[in-house]
Amino acid sequence: MDTYQIDWSHPGHIYFIGIGGVSMSGLAEILLTQGFRVSGSDAKENSFTDLLEKHGAEIHYGQRRENITEDIDAACYTAAVHPDNPEYQACVEKKIPMLSRAELLGELMRCYRTSIAVSGTHGKTTTTSLIAHILMEADADPTISVGGVLPLIGGNIRIGGNDTFLLEACEYTNSFLSFHPTMEVILNIEADHLDFFHNIENIRKSFHRFVGNLPENGTLIIDSRIRDYREITEGFAGTIRTVGGPEAEFTAGEISYDELARPSFQVYRNGERLGALTLRIPGEHNVYNALAAAAAGLSLGIPFEKVTRGIEAFSGAERRFEKKGVLNGVTILDDYAHHPQEIEATLRTALRCPHKRLWVVFQPHTYTRTKALMPQFAEALGLADRVVLADIFAAREKNTIGVSSGDVAELINAKTPGKAVYLPAFDRIETYLLEHLLPGDLCITMGAGDIYKVGDDLLGK
């Protein structure tokens, strides 16, 4: 089967198998603005398919072999589409070039003079959002693809000009190895997605290969606190800018926090003070996300004044330490944290906020992650005064390893008896919280699944 390369000057006909998702619909919209003919299929109509149809896309509801016609130049498919899919099979039989979502993203990146990929185990959405604000402040008219809802652009996709493309790059299934950026940001490298990667060394090798995708005149921004970060950069001949540790090119000094744990600090470059930054997002971890974003903006030639205005305008993405409301004197927040390091960072931030007791209602995400990192989960969650554990959100997995959220609760209670409780169903959790939360408490629903519904339901009551 032939490969297919996206070329703005020769727009073709691209078919999307599964066009109605938030990411695939965004890619389809980019192609439509460049004059491509776009068609595709999905199970049912939704707001994304409605928008695409208004822009001229032809959409089929239900996936059938007859939807695949001879005039299709290439087909794009999601990870949820398997070789037994009838449209997938028809594309193979007709020898139509096929691209995964990540491969299509990589092809799109080739069409922009500057393409920026933000990666790392944690902080990708926040840092991508910060860079988006910087680019918008600098009137760069970027095309943006971010992993969360960014209020600045009213969603997760912005269609801009043909000069700058900014995207969040996930390492899961090595999808980021299909990308072709001119600038990369690597925030951290930790053990995660262990249903795909064998171990941390396997993950580090993938990040090293990711760096290898940069051109010789490309730019890499990397946190120097990553263990042996020079192993990750080995062989790259382009520009390397470090952030984070005391020996880095970009560092933060004189860090202080307000009553909502939002940091203010001085930015230094090679020991020379550039100026002050005051964030509207809380936590020490966001100091380093902001440093990486600032380094990216400055590397693009954007003046520091515009960099700071862009960063200081960002007040947070959806599900990132998001205040949902107050119920009977109890403040309810929601956060996407689902890895022990993310949980620790979020809870340490919460500890700086006014509260009588800190509660965390946590929904573990995937069985393999819970099993592999169980001691770390127990340690991180133990920072809270009280812990409520919901059933594990299975996502793509089945429980073939016999792990339960109750196992995490047992580990926490072994160290501090009575701190944690395991309540499988959301309605039981809501009842428990209503019976035990007191005015002045701070309660955070946390996880990458649908645990946010608990806070929404409580506030609705």
**Nearest by Cα to 331 from 175, 445, 243:** 445
Pairing of strands 239-243, 183-186: unpaired
The Cα 257–Cα 251 span in angstroms is 17
pLDDT score recorded for residue 194:
61
Residue 406: C-alpha distances to residues 283, 381, 421 (Å): 29, 13, 8
Check residue 228 and give left, alpha or beta (phi > 0: left; psi -120 to 50: alpha).
left
The Cα 272–Cα 270 span in angstroms is 6
Query: What DSSP element (H or E) covers 388?
Result: strand 386-389
Residues 6+ apart with CB under 8 A from 271: none
- Please calculate the CA angle 202-205-207 and round it to the nearest 5 degrees: 115
CATH of 112-312, one of 3.40.50.300, 3.30.365.10, 3.90.550.50, 3.40.1190.10: 3.40.1190.10
Sheet holding 58-61, edge to edge: 58-61, 37-42, 13-17, 74-77, 98-100
The Cα 416–Cα 458 span in angstroms is 27
Asked whether 347 and 310 are in contact (CB, 8 A), the reply is: no
Cα of first residue to Cα of last residue in the chain, in angstroms, is 56
DSSP secondary structure letter of residue 276? E
- Whose structure tokens read 């790059």? 169
pLDDT score recorded for residue 434:
95
CATH 3.90.190.20 maps onto the chain at 322-460
The first and second tokens of residue 234, run together, are 């080995």
pTM value is 0.80
What is the CATH topology of the domain spanning 13-100? Rossmann fold (3.40.50)
3-class SS of residue 164: strand
Superfamily of domain 322-460: Mur ligase, C-terminal domain (3.90.190.20)
Asked whether 115 and 184 are in contact (CB, 8 A), the reply is: no
Query: What DSSP element (H or E) covers 358?
Result: strand 358-362
CATH 3.40.1190.10 maps onto the chain at 112-312
CATH 3.40.50.720 maps onto the chain at 13-100
pLDDT score recorded for residue 229:
96
**Backbone phi, then psi, for 418, in 5-degree steps?**
85, 0
Check residue 62 and give left, alpha or beta (phi > 0: left; psi -120 to 50: alpha).
left
3-class SS of residue 267: strand
Print pLDDT tens along the chain (461 aa).
Answer: 567 899 999 999 999 999 998 788 989 999 999 999 999 999 899 888 998 999 999 999 999 999 999 999 999 998 788 899 999 999 999 999 999 999 999 999 999 999 999 999 888 989 999 999 999 999 999 999 887 778 888 877 898 988 999 999 987 677 889 899 999 999 999 877 767 677 888 889 999 999 999 999 999 999 999 999 999 999 999 999 999 989 999 999 999 998 888 999 999 999 999 999 999 888 888 999 999 999 999 999 999 999 999 999 998 767 777 889 999 999 999 998 888 988 998 999 899 888 999 999 999 999 998 998 999 999 999 999 999 999 999 887 888 888 999 999 999 999 999 999 999 999 999 999 999 999 999 999 999 889 999 999 999 87
Q: Which residues pair with 223 in a beta bridge?
A: 243
Query: What DSSP element (H or E) covers 414?
Result: helix 405-415
**Nearest by Cα to 220 from 233, 204, 230:** 233
The Cα 349–Cα 336 span in angstroms is 14
